[in-house]
Chain A
């Protein structure tokens, strides 16, 4: 069946380094993607989104890249800070009544 998955379950980086979190999706009909950040004990927090007619979108310290050819999504965090430590989920809009399908998540740990 269709699914959204992540390549790496954990990622550890040094404070100040750049982080790259990857996501693979299999539903070629998906046309909208969101990255969420979830801190321990909290709900997912919207970070950045991208539509399928774009390859790249930038926010504050974050960039999302979309490669539709290989169905791959990535989140880049520049100058990673301790406050960035969290679980990051990619989610796709399957086009079916706007419900989002989530991957399992990547836990990012930032070492001081």
Chain B
């Protein structure tokens, strides 16, 4: 049973470019969460999605950041016009329908903005 998959594992972008981070939840999981982690810090909640719905985006920056979880395919975290401050590790987690509190994390995507 494959765990949460994230790709790419490492992403390098120049300022002003777009970054697309993908997350495939564990099989049978219908809830996806995105977190950001800066070096030597804890994870900061960004957004919580179910299929085709954003449930809670209170942790998302108001501009340049968006997330989706389509009916088919992985969840996408999109960062437009990246700036150096966006450099971080972005982790996706998923949880099953009847145990939503227990989240299982992917390996993360490490974004570096030059």
Instruction: Give residues in A with beta carbon < 8 Å to B.
Output: 4, 32, 34, 36, 42-46, 49, 89, 91, 93, 96-105
Contact = CB atoms under 8 A, between A and B. Distances in A.
A105 B42 contact: yes
Interface of B: 4, 6, 31, 33, 35, 40-45, 48, 55-56, 58-59, 91, 95, 100-108
A42 B48 contact: no
A99 B43 contact: no
Contacts of A101: 45
Given A44-B43, A89-B43, A99-B45, 9 more contacts: A46-B103, A46-B104, A49-B101, A96-B58, A98-B95, A99-B48, A100-B43, A101-B45, A104-B42
Contacts of B108: 42-43
19 contacts: A34-B101, A34-B103, A43-B91, A43-B106, A43-B108, A44-B105, A45-B105, A49-B101, A89-B43, A93-B101, A97-B56, A99-B33, A99-B48, A99-B59, A100-B43, A100-B101, A102-B42, A103-B42, A104-B41
Contacts of A44: 43, 91, 105
3 tightest CB-CB pairs across the interface, nearest first? A43-B105, A102-B42, A97-B56
A89 B42 contact: yes
A104 B40 CA distance: 8
B101 A32 contact: yes
* Most interface-central of A4, A49, A99, A103 (chain B CB within 10 A): A99
Nearest to A43: B105
